[in-house]
Amino acid sequence: MARGFRQKIRQKNTENSGFGNNASGRFINKDGFPNVKRKGVNVFNKLSWYHTMLNLSSFRFLSYLVIAYIVVNLCFAFIYYLIGVEHLTGIDKSDPLNEFIDVFFFSSQTFTTVGYGRIAPVGFMASLVATFEAFLGLLTFAIATGLFYGRFSRPRAYLRFSDDVVIAPFQDVTALMFRLAPYKNNALTDADVIVSTAIEVIENGVPKSNFYRLEIQMSKINTLALNWTVVHKIDENSPFYGFTEEDFKNTDIEIIVQVRAFDEVFSNTVVQRTSYVSDEIVFGAKFVPMYSPSKDNQSTILDLDKINEYQKTELPATLEVQQ
Amino acid sequence: MARGFRQKIRQKNTENSGFGNNASGRFINKDGFPNVKRKGVNVFNKLSWYHTMLNLSSFRFLSYLVIAYIVVNLCFAFIYYLIGVEHLTGIDKSDPLNEFIDVFFFSSQTFTTVGYGRIAPVGFMASLVATFEAFLGLLTFAIATGLFYGRFSRPRAYLRFSDDVVIAPFQDVTALMFRLAPYKNNALTDADVIVSTAIEVIENGVPKSNFYRLEIQMSKINTLALNWTVVHKIDENSPFYGFTEEDFKNTDIEIIVQVRAFDEVFSNTVVQRTSYVSDEIVFGAKFVPMYSPSKDNQSTILDLDKINEYQKTELPATLEVQQ
Amino acid sequence: MARGFRQKIRQKNTENSGFGNNASGRFINKDGFPNVKRKGVNVFNKLSWYHTMLNLSSFRFLSYLVIAYIVVNLCFAFIYYLIGVEHLTGIDKSDPLNEFIDVFFFSSQTFTTVGYGRIAPVGFMASLVATFEAFLGLLTFAIATGLFYGRFSRPRAYLRFSDDVVIAPFQDVTALMFRLAPYKNNALTDADVIVSTAIEVIENGVPKSNFYRLEIQMSKINTLALNWTVVHKIDENSPFYGFTEEDFKNTDIEIIVQVRAFDEVFSNTVVQRTSYVSDEIVFGAKFVPMYSPSKDNQSTILDLDKINEYQKTELPATLEVQQ
Amino acid sequence: MARGFRQKIRQKNTENSGFGNNASGRFINKDGFPNVKRKGVNVFNKLSWYHTMLNLSSFRFLSYLVIAYIVVNLCFAFIYYLIGVEHLTGIDKSDPLNEFIDVFFFSSQTFTTVGYGRIAPVGFMASLVATFEAFLGLLTFAIATGLFYGRFSRPRAYLRFSDDVVIAPFQDVTALMFRLAPYKNNALTDADVIVSTAIEVIENGVPKSNFYRLEIQMSKINTLALNWTVVHKIDENSPFYGFTEEDFKNTDIEIIVQVRAFDEVFSNTVVQRTSYVSDEIVFGAKFVPMYSPSKDNQSTILDLDKINEYQKTELPATLEVQQ
């Protein structure tokens, strides 16, 4: 069941996507990362642990920290226990469990450098291990400091995209549209968008992916504060020119989006990408407005809940210029 | 009382401002942030807490830190108190208040990892909570380290703008002018300015905002060390061509300014924005010089107090080319 | 045995390489750094210690930290010992070695600010040195924090290049090709490549290096997720036009490569460079594909082990246009 | 004694320097910062303390830290002393001086969070102050961490410029030349240079500074690893066309230089600026080579001591095209 387009697309597929035209599956995942797996590198080389740590959710990141803290302390507690509790002062020696509990707490007091001193090392070996543990503790918190900073200072666009692409009437033709809006209190300026598409075509019976750049009506804006409706007119320069509703349904299409803007707080360029596949293209629908004046008429309210709200609309069967 | 311009403006409103032409209120606030409110996102998603922390004043930022420190210690003191003061050595048990005071101080000594040891945990529960508190303390200071660094390393332009825009004679025509100067010991180079305007016009009885780019006489300079007077000539390419003093008074006008420069200390591009509304446009005034040679003639003195000093001047009633 | 090309190269050597044409040895090392040594600056000025620390391997970096920690503590232990162990409480005075061991541990407990207090300073001098050591300890860990962060947040491209450049048939001519692929979970977009070459030529019997920019078939791609085969067609615009297999063997040639891309996690431009010398040019070989669809056809697998796999192929003796 | 040029300069002074043409003294100091003083802002607003801290020498920066540490501890010691030494355990109460010394050391042990516990707070007030001091200590080290990182991660070009500009024969004309070289182990690529000049001219008896951009022979290079000799040909497009040796001597001239490059370790653009005034222009001299092959012919040696070495050479009296 090859879902390829069998007709000729007039626009040249000159887009250098970086993907071969016989890669498989979607090219860009919904979160903007490429849908590629690597092999031939071991796990330590395959993952940049810093990239990995930055992409973890806050909950998982903190959980990993807590687990690491407990594991490290258990290890050191075990070492102190092996060395012998007689090398530590202030240990409750009533039974082995209490001894282990006390060396565990001694370890944590050393690792965090809190060092109350109620339990303290006296022998050579215990002192040596404690010397090393306190050092390790400080380095660990040095790394944690860097990770925290890396996580929250990482420049991100914080854009929300509409779930669907709609194909709607626009001026005197039909257009493919999606919209996006910033949802946080960042200040984005000088935004631009690049949209390309991968269309599965069947040439001489062989399916392959062709890549096309989609021309955007207004591809740069000064301030990205309200929603931005990105419009690609389906005129004779569009690869979708002449497509019917059926063609959209029966062809594997992927719309790849990259938004770039300047964030004035980070003083840095931020980029966010996403992609839409065939299922997310709604033929014959137009978005409803998502911003309105405030009651006192002194500012503008942007309602992010409405970002994917659209209403059905009539379209001609084939997307050609409507006179 | 629609404050719109009823005549035809010849210049095309092709500026992609990113604001709809029926948004309300001013577009850009004086501090450069867009005048937009968001709804449909909950408060945790609406605010980037990092952006928020970076934009706080120093006083409020430090106050929040102190308050957080006290609250956290009160919470932990309460927990230790519930666990029972008998799990801590060295507590003054003369009365419950003294007990609470001592556990509070124990908590702070743990959280900051100072750990004198005069008060120290002996029981399992108190030790466990202290283990966790010391860990939390270190993570908190890791985050604080990142926030401090983020706050003071945030690239900013440190520009002061004149409070008003003046409309003054310039060469053989009239020009709209404002000025700006760096007020700190940063070193800005390769500065450029982009100025656009939103003019409320009434077309067929309906008010709408039109956006125009304003051409600037000298929109790039090599070194931004002295004041920079930004000059927009009101000639036939200006949307203000043909405006009278009355038109400036009776029309809602917003002048939106973006200055971009390279800071050599941050090695980064810095951006500062501001906007002027109708009330801040002074018809018939020109700025007085704000820099002068030093007494020894070996350097130049820039007097920032004078940035908004101007003197009244005569202008023709209608802004057309003056022969 | 001058390994220079004695014929005339038609393409103009207008490339501003930054290297003189009588520098010696290869220009760019395999790791992308220039093959230049400096003298006339002392070692403190010659090395940016921060650059040095960032370029160390993890193992050496950690080793240096541990060694520094031990050396610092030995120094302070020596000072405390000189001051006299009677200025410290809790010292095991059974013999001089034990005394030294205890002051060493006291030093480490001070440097890391763990401060158990079992050993504590009582006299003026010991207290003063301890005051300074704790301060130094905190500054040291402040610096270590910065170094750790600098090391892992340093934007890098993480690209793997093929070991060799191949000269293979391509479309209707012959082309020089190498390939590269990202091997970590970073997300590179908007990649471009610049390739130049240094060819040793003999003009009037004098060898000199000429620099040429090599035209690349597709020098920019949108997403750098799969492998990228960089292709330079050896047509009449190429400096290698007319070269024989012998010429490639007997001429000192260096191919200098610079890849630049935008990393969305760092939100920064990353650059990686490498170079190929004569020995790494394989005449008459073509690369085998290194990516394939996954078994479920839902994504693409990139096999990095294959990055340098090529198979021998026939080429005409002289690289001219093949009809 | 107006040191202005009284003849007509044919080239247009269209350079937007950002300096007025009646500013006084040199425009750019040798270190690249503009020679401008500000008034009308108080000292807290005039200085960005972060910029100030980043520009301090290492020695002064560390000295300030040590002084701050001592001052803070003296203040806290004074507070503890006022509260009363009976609120602290373990104080040597033999005489007031010893008391003060002990509270001073207690303060430092609290501020650094080393907290041995030999001296520990027992009363409410002393505990409260200690709670606050430990907190302050940690925040201080958080700030110090940021400053250290800011200082050593600050992207800098590390370029050394020749002390003088020379005017030397070049190809068939005369040229103004200076040179620069990187002196550290950073890797600079894609370097470009912008050179402009301020010439004091006397028009109608009034001295003013005119600014001109100087055309550079090769203003971009790929790799900045060896020295770079920047060449401005004094032909009919140069403002110095027709200048005599006397004119160079008797006119106030400033050559303003900006070098920009990409540092691959910082992954950032770095900029360095400098300027040359009349005294630093040497008429009739040319630079001697400063790099040579290594003994084993495997790399190139750059001798930074030679950066300002030049030898005298003959020049025609007036700088016109030499046939």
- Report the domain count for chain B: 2
Structural tokens at position C223: 């997403």
Hey, are the CB atoms on A109 and B89 less than 8 Å from each other?
no
Residues of C in contact with A37 (CB under 8 A): 294, 299-302
Q: Say if residue B57 is in the same domain as residue B74.
A: yes
Report d(CA B234, CA B166) in Å as an integer. 12
Residues of B in contact with A294 (CB under 8 A): 24-25, 37
Hey, are the CB atoms on D117 and A116 less than 8 Å from each other?
yes
pLDDT of B13 > 90? The answer is: no
Name which of D47, D124, D138 to mutate to probe chain B: the one with the most chain B Cβ atoms within 10 A of its Cβ: D138
pLDDT tens track for B254-280: 999 999 999 888 888 999 999 999 999
For residue B145, give the chain A residue with the closest CA: A145
Q: Say if residue D140 is in the same domain as residue D181.
A: no
Share of chain B above pLDDT 90, in %: 54
Expressed as residue numbers, the domain containing D183 is 159-312
B115 to chain C, any CB pair closer than 8 A? The answer is: yes
Would you list the DSSP string of C186-205?
A: --EEEEEEEEEEEEEEEETT
CA distance D164 to chain B (A): 21
| Single residue among C124, C153, C182 that ends a domain in this structure | C153
A3 to chain C, any CB pair closer than 8 A? The answer is: no
For residue D145, give the chain C residue with the closest CA: C142
Q: Which of D113, D117, D145 sits opposite A117 (nearest CB)?
A: D117
pLDDT of residue A120: 93
Q: Which chains touch A (3 or more CB pairs under 8 A)?
A: B, C, D
CB B249 within 8 A of CB B278: yes
Residues of A in contact with B39 (CB under 8 A): 301-305
Q: Which chains touch D (3 or more CB pairs under 8 A)?
A: A, B, C
Q: What is the CATH number of the domain that holds B120?
A: 1.10.287.70
Structural tokens at position D80: 């503890």
Distance of CA B235 to the CA centre of its chain: 33
Residue D127 lies in a domain: yes
Q: Say if residue C112 is in the same domain as residue C208.
A: no
Residue D41 lies in a domain: no
Which phi and psi (to 5°) does residue D44 adopt? -70, -35
Tokens 């404050």 found at: B3
Hey, are the CB atoms on D291 and C124 less than 8 Å from each other?
no
Hey, are the CB atoms on D36 and B117 less than 8 Å from each other?
no
CB A27 within 8 A of CB A19: yes
Q: Which of B113, B117, B145 sits opposite C117 (nearest CB)?
A: B117
CB A4 within 8 A of CB A207: yes
ipTM exceeds 0.90: no
CB B211 within 8 A of CB B270: no
Residues of B in contact with A228 (CB under 8 A): 18
pLDDT tens track for B62-118: 999 999 999 999 999 999 999 999 999 988 888 999 999 999 999 999 999 999 999
Would you list the DSSP string of D13-31?
A: -----SS-TT--S-SB-TT
Share of chain A above pLDDT 70, in %: 96
Q: What is the mean pLDDT of residues B42-59?
A: 83
Q: Which of D34, D51, D196 sits opposite B265 (nearest CB)?
A: D51
B29 to chain A, any CB pair closer than 8 A? The answer is: no
Report D:148-177 residues touching A (Cβ under 8 A).
none
Q: Say if residue C144 is in the same domain as residue C68.
A: yes
| Single residue among A101, A136, A152 that ends a domain in this structure | A152
Q: Which chains touch B (3 or more CB pairs under 8 A)?
A: A, C, D
Report d(CA A278, CA A301) in Å as an integer. 32
Q: What is the mean pLDDT of residues A92-104?
A: 91
Residues of B in contact with D138 (CB under 8 A): 112, 141, 144
Hey, are the CB atoms on D298 and C18 less than 8 Å from each other?
no
Q: Say if residue D170 is in the same domain as residue D267.
A: yes
Residues of A in contact with B127 (CB under 8 A): 101, 105
D306 to chain C, any CB pair closer than 8 A? The answer is: yes
Name which of B112, B145, B267 to mutate to probe chain C: the one with the most chain C Cβ atoms within 10 A of its Cβ: B145
Q: What is the mean pLDDT of residues D122-143?
A: 94
Q: What is the CATH number of the domain that holds B220?
A: 2.60.40.1400
Residue B175 lies in a domain: yes
pLDDT of D294 > 80? The answer is: yes
Q: Say if residue A132 is in the same domain as residue A164.
A: no
pLDDT band at A79 (very low <50, low <70, confident <90, very high): very high
D117 to chain A, any CB pair closer than 8 A? The answer is: yes
Hey, are the CB atoms on A33 and C152 less than 8 Å from each other?
no
Report d(CA C159, CA C170) in Å as an integer. 24
Residues of A in contact with D149 (CB under 8 A): none
Report d(CA A218, CA A236) in Å as an integer. 18
CA distance D139 to chain B (A): 7
Q: Which residues contact C247 (CB under 8 A, 6 or more apart)?
A: C5
pLDDT band at B23 (very low <50, low <70, confident <90, very high): low
Q: Say if residue B100 is in the same domain as residue B177.
A: no
Residue D10 lies in a domain: no
Per-residue pLDDT of chain C (323 residues; tens, 9 = 90+): 457 787 778 777 777 777 776 667 788 888 888 888 888 777 777 777 888 888 899 999 999 999 999 999 999 999 999 999 999 998 888 899 999 999 999 999 999 999 999 999 998 999 999 999 999 999 999 999 999 999 988 888 999 999 999 999 888 889 999 999 998 878 899 999 999 999 988 888 888 888 999 999 999 998 898 899 999 999 888 999 888 888 898 899 999 999 999 988 888 899 999 999 999 999 999 999 988 888 888 888 889 999 999 999 887 766 654 43
Report d(CA A300, CA A294) in Å as an integer. 5
Q: What does pLDDT average to over chain A? A: 88
D268 to chain A, any CB pair closer than 8 A? The answer is: no
Report D:200-239 residues touching C (Cβ under 8 A).
218, 220-226, 228
Three-state SS for chain B is CCCCECCCCCCCCCCCCCCCCCCCCCCECCCCCECEEEECCCHHHHCCHHHHHHHCCHHHHHHHHHHHHHHHHHHHHHHHHHHCHHHEECCCCCCHHHHHHHHHHHHHHHHCCCCCCCCEECCHHHHHHHHHHHHHHHHHHHHHHHHHHHHHHCCCCCEEECCCEEEEEECCEEEEEEEEEECCCCCEEEEEEEEEEEEEEEECCEEEEEEEEECCCCCEEEEECCCEEEEEECCCCCCCCCCEHHHHHHCCEEEEEEEEEEECCCCEEEEEEEEEEHHHEEECEEECCCEEECCCCCCEEEEHHHCCCEEECCCCCECCCCC
Q: Say if residue C284 is in the same domain as residue C170.
A: yes
Report d(CA D133, CA D113) in Å as an integer. 9
Name which of D109, D141, D145 to mutate to probe chain A: the one with the most chain A Cβ atoms within 10 A of its Cβ: D145
Q: What does pLDDT average to over chain B? A: 88
pLDDT of D56 > 60? The answer is: yes
Residues of B in contact with A268 (CB under 8 A): 268
Q: Which of A113, A262, A305 sits opposite B113 (nearest CB)?
A: A113
Hey, are the CB atoms on A146 and C158 less than 8 Å from each other?
no
Report d(CA D252, CA C42) in Å as an integer. 36
Question: How crowded is residue A318: how many other Cβ atoms within 10 Å of its Cβ?
Answer: 13
Q: Say if residue C291 is in the same domain as residue C192.
A: yes
Would you list the DSSP string of A161-215?
A: E-SSEEEEEETTEEEEEEEEEE-SS--EEEEEEEEEEEEEEEETTEEEEEEEEEP
Question: How crowded is residue B157: how many other Cβ atoms within 10 Å of its Cβ?
Answer: 24
Residue A6 lies in a domain: no
CA distance D214 to chain A (A): 32
Hey, are the CB atoms on A300 and B115 less than 8 Å from each other?
no
Integer-rounded Cα Rg, in Å, for chain D is 29
Side-chain-facing half-sphere of D252: CA atoms under 13 Å: 19
Residue C43 lies in a domain: no
Report d(CA A57, CA C75) in Å as an integer. 44
Q: Who has greater pLDDT, A17 or D34?
A: D34
CB C201 within 8 A of CB C5: yes
pLDDT band at B187 (very low <50, low <70, confident <90, very high): confident
Report A:64-83 residues touching B (Cβ under 8 A).
65-66, 69, 73
Hey, are the CB atoms on D225 and C36 less than 8 Å from each other?
yes
CA distance A114 to chain D (A): 8
Residue A89 lies in a domain: yes
Q: What is the mean pLDDT of residues A172-199?
A: 91
Residues of A in contact with C267 (CB under 8 A): 154-156, 266, 268-271
| Single residue among D138, D153, D168 that ends a domain in this structure | D153
For residue B308, which of B248, B229, B234 has the smallest C-alpha distance? B229
Tokens 């860097």 found at: A146
Residues of B in contact with D22 (CB under 8 A): 293
Hey, are the CB atoms on C116 and B117 less than 8 Å from each other?
yes
Tokens 């004074």 found at: D78
**Per this entry, what is the length of chain A?**
323
Rounded to 10 degrees, what is the CA torsion of A81, A82, A87, A89? 10
CB C121 within 8 A of CB D104: no
CB D131 within 8 A of CB D159: no
Q: What does pLDDT average to over chain D? A: 88
| Residue at A42: amino acid letter | N
Q: Which of A16, A49, A256 sits opposite C218 (nearest CB)?
A: A16
Which phi and psi (to 5°) does residue A113 adopt? 60, 20
Q: Say if residue C193 is in the same domain as residue C298.
A: yes
Name which of C145, C266, C268, C269 to mutate to probe chain B: the one with the most chain B Cβ atoms within 10 A of its Cβ: C145
Q: What is the mean pLDDT of residues A197-206?
A: 86
pLDDT of B123 > 90? The answer is: no
Report d(CA C63, CA C53) in Å as an integer. 12
Report d(CA B288, CA B308) in Å as an integer. 9
Report d(CA A230, CA D109) in Å as an integer. 61
Q: Say if residue C84 is in the same domain as residue C202.
A: no
Residue A12 lies in a domain: no
Residues of D in contact with A113 (CB under 8 A): 113
Q: Say if residue A163 is in the same domain as residue A124.
A: no
Question: How crowded is residue B270: how many other Cβ atoms within 10 Å of its Cβ?
Answer: 21
Report d(CA A160, CA A227) in Å as an integer. 9
Query: Of A97-106, C107-116, C296-305, D98-107, which gets the smallest average pLDDT?
Result: C296-305
CB D55 within 8 A of CB D282: no
A113 to chain D, any CB pair closer than 8 A? The answer is: yes
B318 to chain C, any CB pair closer than 8 A? The answer is: no
Residues of D in contact with A115 (CB under 8 A): 115
